[in-house]
Amino acid sequence: MKKLSVKSVVAIGIGAALFFVLGKISIPTPVPNTYISLQYAIQAVFATLFGPVAGLLIGLIGHTLIDATSYGPWWSWIIASGVVGMITGLAAKRLDVTDGLDKKELIYFNVAQIIAHLIAWGLVAPCLDILIYAEPVEKLFSQGLTASIVNILTTGIVGTLLLVAYAATQVKKGSLNKE
């Protein structure tokens, strides 16, 4: 396995801390134990900038901290959070945010994050809830569907805005002239 750079380790620490803080600030949905919050938008941006390992670890660490300071670790959803970051980071390898983002790249980012959330909350979390906790199936898939929708929307809106803002701060290749 390739070693993580200091920059990536710092990004994981900052990303996990932001994931934790934003996860503690949430709005409940009508579905029990399912909330609207912004941590997945931050995770998607960090996964895009620092890769799938950073995305995975930000989700695992950040969600573990949220659960540990609330009601105790719920491992199925912690793992699902890691899966979101890993898939988003893998897909984002095709994006070059250092040279600006065009509409095609933003669409690609959003398709990737939609797929990541659907896999994590529609498959990984409910299946692990059944295997680990023997939870009732009807409840799990309504929670998964709700989590997918709210996380897709918050990542799509806030994550996209953050990526566009970040890309706008980057110096475009070939834009500087020698005088």
pLDDT score of 72: 93
pLDDT score of 177: 61
Closest to 95 (Cα-Cα) out of 106, 86, 87: 106
pLDDT score of 1: 60
pLDDT score of 70: 92
Q: How many CB atoms lie within 10 A of CB 23?
A: 23
pLDDT score of 141: 87
pTM of the model: 0.92
Residue 100, sorted as left (phi over 0), alpha (psi -120 to 50) or beta, turns out to be left
pLDDT score of 148: 97
Q: How many CB atoms lie within 10 A of CB 107?
A: 11
Q: How many CB atoms lie within 10 A of CB 14?
A: 14
Domain 6-169 indexed as CATH 1.10.1760.20: yes
CB 49 within 8 A of CB 81: no
Tens digits of pLDDT across the chain (179 residues): 678 899 999 999 999 999 999 999 999 999 988 999 999 999 999 999 999 999 999 999 999 999 999 989 999 999 999 999 999 999 998 888 888 889 999 999 999 999 999 999 999 999 999 999 998 888 888 999 999 999 999 999 999 999 999 999 987 766 556 66
- What DSSP letter does each residue of the chain carry, written as one string? -PPPPHHHHHHHHHHHHHHHHHHHS-EE-SSTT-EE-SHHHHHHHHHHHH-HHHHHHHHHHHHHHHHHTTT---HHHHHHHHHHHHHHHHHHTT--GGG---HHHHHHHHHHHHHHHHHIIIIIHHHHIIIII---HHHHHHHHHHHHHHHHHHIIIIIHHHHHHHHHHSPPTT-----
pLDDT score of 100: 81
pLDDT score of 9: 96
